[in-house]
Structure 1
Amino acid sequence: MTDTMTPVSGPARRNRRAAGTDPEKRRQILDGAYQVFTARGFDAASMNDIAAAANVSKGTLYVYFQDKEHLFVALIERERETQKRGAFEALDQDADPVRALANFGRCLVRMITHEFAVSAHRIVIGVAERMPDIGRSFYENGPMQGTRLIARHLDRMVAEGKLVPIADTGLAAVQFIDLCQSTLTRPRLFNAVRTPPDEAEIDHVVEEAMAMFLARYGVKRRA
C-alpha cells in the first residue's frame, strides 16, 4: 500500500512556522483584541468576540494565547513598548541631564495616565492574586524597567556633578517617578477622574516634582 500524501520538502518545509510563532498572525490577533477590549472593556469581551474581530478561528486564538488574561497582558506590553520608547528616548534628546529628567517625567505621566494604560493597571491588579505570574511580568517589564533606567541616569548625573552622591539611586528613581505621578494617577486608577490630564497640569506636577527632587539631591550652589 503506497502513501498518497506528498511530503513537504525544500523551501515549503523551511517556510513553515511552528504553531503559535507566526508574528503576522500574532499581530492580527492583537489588533482584533485591541478593537474588542477598547469597545467593550475587559469583562464584557470574550475570546469568541476577539477571534471574530481578528478573523481567526477560536482554535488558532488558543494556540497563541492560553486565555483572555494572557492575551490582554500581551496587548498591554505591545502598546506600552510603543509609548515606552518615547519616554526612554527623552533621556537622550537633551544634552542637559536635568532637563532630560524632566522630559522623561512628562513622557512617563502621559504614558501611565493614558486611558488604555489606566484600564490595564486595574485589570492586572484584579487578576494578580490568582495569577501572580501576570502581575510579576507586568511589573518587571514596566515599573521595574523604568526604575532601573532612571537609576542609571541618576548615576550619570552624580558622576557629572549635577547631583550630590546618592547612596541608593534605585530608591531615588522610585521617589522621582512617584513624585511625577502625584495627584494624576491615583484619581484615574479609581475612576474618580475619567479624562487624561492636560499638558498644563502635567507640566505643573512635573515641575514641582523636579523642585522637590532637586531640593533633596541637587547640588547646592554658592551665592
Structure 2
Amino acid sequence: MTGDEQAGRRTWATRTARDRSDAPARGRLLDAAETVFARLGHGAATVGDITAEAEVSRAGFYVYFASKEEIFRVLAARVRDAFLAAQDVPDVGTDDVRAVAEASVGAFIAAYARHLPLLGLLAQQARTDPGVRELWQEICERPVHRHARYIRRVAAEGRAAPVAEPLSVARAVGGMCVEFARLTAADPGAHDDAVRDVTAMYLHLLGVVPGVKDHAGQGT
C-alpha cells in the first residue's frame, strides 16, 4: 500500500469514527440506555431493552457499542462532559462574575437533576468496575478543580475575595448545587428559586458583594 493509500485509509477511518459518534441513532441509543438503566438498574438491563427503547435494531446497537458495559461507560463520560459543559457560559460576558455565577449554577443544577437517576448507578458500578471508577472520579473531581482554577483567577484579578481557599469554596458550592439539584429533581418548579439561593450563597463565599460593581466595571 502506498503512502497516499495509507493516508486515505486513516482519513476514512477518522471520518467514520466521527460520523458514528455524531449519528442520530447513537444519540438515541445513549438516551435510551440512560432511561433503561435508571428504570431497571445496571444488572437487570439488557441490550434488548436498550434497543427496544431506542427503536434501533440489535445489529444497529453493535455498530456503535460493543456491549452493555461499553455503553454504560460512554454514558458515564457523557455525564462528566455535561458537568464540565455547565461551567462554560458562552452567552454570558466572562467579566461579569455575578452573571457567570448564576448561569453556571443554573446549568449545573439542571444537569445534575437530569442525570440524577444514573449517578447512583455510576457510584455503585465504580466499586467493582475500574473503568467506571476512573470516570466516576473524574465526574466528582474534574468540575471541582476546574471551578477552583476559575476562583483563583478572578481573585488574582481583584474581582473576588474568597472567604476560604478556592478549592474549599469550589467543593462547598458543588455540594450546595448537588443538594438543590436533588430538590429540583423532585420538584422541577423549584429550579428558579434554587438557582437564586445557591447563586446568592456562592457570591457570598466568593466575596462578591451584591449591588457593587466588580473590578471590570460590571454592575448587577
Which TM-score band applies after superposition, normalised by the shorter structure?
0.5 to 0.7
Q: Which amino acid aligns with 2:57?
A: N
Matched residues in 1 for 2:85 and 2:121: separation?
A: 23
In the TM superposition, residue 68 of structure 1 has moved relative to its aligned partner by 1.8
Larger Rg: 1
TM-score of the pair, normalised by structure 2: 0.68
Contact conserved, 1:91 with 1:103, CA < 8 A, in 2?
no
Matched, 1:88 2:84: no
Contact conserved, 1:90 with 1:107, CA < 8 A, in 2?
no
**Match for residue 193 of structure 2?**
201
In the TM superposition, residue 57 of structure 1 has moved relative to its aligned partner by 1.9
TM-score of the pair, normalised by structure 1: 0.67
Matched residues in 2 for 1:197 and 1:121: separation?
A: 22
Q: How many residues align?
A: 199
In the TM superposition, residue 25 of structure 1 has moved relative to its aligned partner by 3.5
**Match for residue 120 of structure 2?**
122
Change (3 A) 1:81 1:176: same
**Match for residue 169 of structure 1?**
166
In the TM superposition, residue 118 of structure 1 has moved relative to its aligned partner by 0.4
In the TM superposition, residue 90 of structure 1 has moved relative to its aligned partner by 5.5
Q: Which amino acid aligns with 1:202?
A: A
SS at match of 2:98: helix
Q: Deviations over 1:27-64 (max 9, x none)?
A: 43442242354267353531134356433528x72x85
Change (3 A) 1:85 1:47: same
Q: Deviations over 1:77-123 (max 9, x none)?
A: 33663574353226953422233223211221111111xx1012011
Larger proportion of helix: 2
Q: RMSD between aligned alpha carbons?
A: 3.9
Change (3 A) 1:98 1:187: closer
Matched residues in 2 for 1:208 and 1:166: separation?
A: 14
Q: Which has the higher contact order (CA 8 A, sep 6+)?
A: 2
Change (3 A) 1:101 1:169: same
Structure 2: which 5+ runs fail to align?
Answer: 213-220
**Match for residue 57 of structure 2?**
55
Q: Which amino acid aligns with 2:35?
A: T
